[in-house]
Amino acid sequence: MSFGSRARAAMAAYGPACVGIDPHAELLAEWELPDSVEGLDRFASICVEAFAGHVAFVKPQSAFFERFGAQGVVILERTIQDLRHTGTLVVLDVKRGDIGSTAAAYADAYLDEDAPMAADAITVSPFLGFGSLQPFFDVAERNDAGVFVLALTSNKEGPEVQHALNGDTTVAGGMLSQLAALNAGQSPMGSFGAVVGATIGDVGEDLAINGPLLVPGFGAQGGTVNDIRRLFSSVIDNVIPSTSRGVLAEGPDVSALRDSVARVNSELVGS
């Protein structure tokens, strides 16, 4: 099954929410875990127990594992392997972007099914030009994986690039239209998505790309169910709201973590 098909099935089974797995120092402290490899290992194991087979998507943030060096990467690799093929899809947040053979190497590292760190999908940055992402799309297609392209992020610095005009079209609008072209004719939806923040406001861009929309900034970062309803009304079935702090604040208790994400999904489905 393509990533788009698997994503649609997972959303139908569990609800649309994506849980960010972000083991930053403050969160480890809240869970009374040391800011060390041992603490990271325990944190990751709890997240696997809580979310594998219980939510549609998880989004490990690679940087929070990489900061512990090689041992942290080993834990990330194992975490991905433990989560995959449980019914929960892994969107690895790596925001890679490069050109030529380097882009192809990144794509092989994260999207080739035989790679040790193979995920169901990854995030990529298009700002070396949309065409530079072609190796990611090629490897993803061969392996039934997905790619989420940064388009309209919610950080305050984003608009200086994303809202800039390229002729009559904004940079973000150009990215969205090219994603729509890649996903054209795919059913139930394409496998190439966009990252669009929940707090961007009404920017007037066409979000109908026939692909998944990964929407960070939901929950503790300020985005609400009403924001999602307002901003994404015409494409709501393709929206994957991502929340981290709001759910992970309930840890390290596994039942509390599951209950928290169940409440989030209930709110979203009710929207």
Active-site annotation, residues: 95
Number of structural domains found in the chain: 1
pLDDT of residue 271: 53
pLDDT grade for 217, boundaries at 50, 70 and 90: confident
pTM greater than the 0.95 cutoff: yes
For residue 220, is pLDDT > 90?
A: no
Show the tokens assigned to 218. Answer: 């939901």
User: Over the stretch 13-67, which tens digit does the pLDDT of each residue have?
Assistant: 999 999 999 999 999 999 999 999 999 999 999 999 999 999 999 999 999 999 9
Instruction: Please tell me the predicted confidence (pLDDT) of residue 194.
Output: 98
Question: Domain with 161 in it: what CATH number?
Answer: 3.20.20.70
Q: Which domain holds residue 155?
A: 3-270
Whether residue 258 has pLDDT greater than 80: yes
CA R_g for the chain: 17
pLDDT digit string, tens, across residues 72-110: 999 999 999 999 999 999 999 999 999 999 999 999 999
Supply the mean pLDDT for the chain: 95
